[in-house]
Amino acid sequence: MPDGDCVGSQLALAHALRALGKEVTLALDDKIPESLFFLDGVRAIAPHTPRAQDVFVFVDGSDPSRYGKAFDAAAIGARPIILIDHHITNEPFGTYNLVDPGAASAAEIVYAVVRALDVPISPALAQALLTGIVTDTLGFRTAATTPETLESATALVRHGGSIPEIIDQVYNRRSFQTLHVLGYALAHAALVGKIIYSALDFQTLEKFGANGNGTNGIVNQLLTVADADIAFFLVEKKDGRIDLSMRARVGTDVSGAARRLGGGGHKQASGATLSPPFETAVQRVLDAIQQESLP
Ligand code: AMP
Ligand code: MN
């Protein structure tokens, strides 16, 4: 489930390494959201596992399973792995681990790497990193946003990045079907104590003619309700597994509940992939929150 930070960070790193004369292959074992197709070089990202590399760099995923088939331990063998990540639930599986849970995005860390490498920052590189920063902070609106985040973003705008283009491409170009999915999710939301949630089964998704793309902002909408401290949203996938997205207000931590459910993430934004059946999924999440996230 690659997002703007995941895609932007790896594109930026590729631009930087190529500027240093390195040969770079990019891989992502999942569909890239169409909202990110505006990024330079995005269509060259392959779904397959590269094998002939000297070094493997993994960016913006807390553990090997997050990379799907792009992490192939047997193919990597004894060659070095560099991990660049910012998740609090990170398992430092690299040979070298550059992990900073204080960074609002992986892109912020990659920006520090790019500066340390002293490569020229092209507008394409700047826009890729800025996309990671803008999307992971929801447009500089999350508690993870620090002075360093804003300083990085300022510098990237000076190098040719455009915040209005990112906002327009990522947030203001959804499909008509997606609007109906959002309407359904909001109309069927339930508030239980301080927890607000909604769930979307695959049949309903198909009825709207939607493909599951474009559901990722819905959980943030749920947490706009004043009485809620935690929001979660479930989407049933074609194979019966269920995507869980969780959000928490500052002062509440959903990363433990996500981890308990086999996922991970950040205190304020976490997720997991649940096994079927869909019918029991809400209760499983409520139980995990009860055990991990509520005082
Ligand atoms: P999302 O709700 O999809 O925006 O994800 C929020 C955060 O949770 C991101 O930082 C993800 O890396 C993390 N996350 C989402 N799904 C999973 C999963 N299945 N396993 C581990 N972490 C996840
Ligand atoms: Mn990220």
Residues 223-281: pLDDT tens digits? 999 999 999 999 999 999 999 999 999 999 999 999 999 999 999 999 999 999 999 99
Residues of the chain within CATH 3.10.310.30 domain(s) are 176-291
Ligand nearest to the CA of 4: 2
Res 210: pLDDT:
79
Q: Cα of 105 to ligand 2 centre, how many Å?
A: 5
Those residues whose beta carbon sits under 5 angstroms from the ion ligand 2 are 5, 60, 106, 136
Residue nearest to atom 22 of ligand 1 (CA): 264
Please determine, for residue 49, whether its predicted confidence score (pLDDT) is greater than 80: no
- Of the candidates 235, 248, 237, the one whose C-alpha atom is nearest the C-alpha of residue 182 is 235
Query: What is the spatial distance between Cα 251 and Cα 169, in angstroms, rounded to a whole number?
Result: 32
Residue nearest to atom 20 of ligand 1 (CA): 263
Please determine, for residue 295, whether its predicted confidence score (pLDDT) is greater than 80: no
The CA dihedral of 30, 33, 36, 37, to the nearest 10 degrees, is 80
Instruction: Find residue 98's DSSP bridge partners.
Output: 84
Please determine, for residue 47, whether its predicted confidence score (pLDDT) is greater than 90: no
Strands (DSSP E) found in the chain: 56-59, 81-85, 96-99, 190-192, 195-200, 230-236, 242-248, 264-265, 269-274
Res 138: pLDDT:
95
For 181-236, what is each residue's pLDDT tens digit? 999 999 999 999 999 999 999 999 999 987 777 788 899 999 999 999 999 999 99
State which of 270, 273, 284, 285 you would mutate to test the pocket of ligand 1, scoring each by most atoms of that ligand within 8 A of its C-beta: 270
Q: What is the second-level CATH architecture of the domain 176-291? A: Roll (3.10)
Cis peptide before 277 (omega within 30 of 0): yes
Question: Is the model more confident about 86 or about 51?
Answer: 86
Residue nearest to atom 18 of ligand 1 (CA): 272
pLDDT band at 294 (very low <50, low <70, confident <90, very high): confident
Q: Cα of 6 to ligand 2 centre, how many Å?
A: 6
Res 227: pLDDT:
97
State which of 31, 63, 66 you would mutate to test the pocket of ligand 1, scoring each by most atoms of that ligand within 8 A of its C-beta: 66
Query: What is the spatial distance between Cα 234 and Cα 158, in angstroms, rounded to a whole number?
Result: 39
Res 52: pLDDT:
83
Please determine, for residue 50, whether its predicted confidence score (pLDDT) is greater than 80: no
For 111-167, what is each residue's pLDDT tens digit? 999 999 999 999 999 999 999 999 999 999 999 999 999 999 999 999 999 999 999
Please give the C-alpha separations between residue 114 and each of 6, 124, 232, in angstroms, as whole numbers: 16, 13, 35
Q: Which two tokens stand for residue 246?
A: 């969780």
Cβ count near 94 (within 10 Å): 19
- Of the candidates 211, 203, 214, 289, the one whose C-alpha atom is nearest the C-alpha of residue 246 is 289
Q: What kind of fold does domain 4-170 have according to CATH?
A: inorganic pyrophosphatase (n-terminal core) (3.90.1640)
Q: Cα of 170 to ligand 2 centre, how many Å?
A: 15
Residue range 37-55: mean pLDDT, rounded: 88
Query: What's the CA angle centered on 1, arms 74 and 44, to 5 degrees?
Result: 70
Q: Cα of 207 to ligand 2 centre, how many Å?
A: 31
Ligand 1 binding pocket (C-beta < 6 A) is 1, 66, 87, 216, 219, 245, 263-266, 269-273
Residues of the chain within CATH 3.90.1640.10 domain(s) are 4-170
Res 257: pLDDT:
98
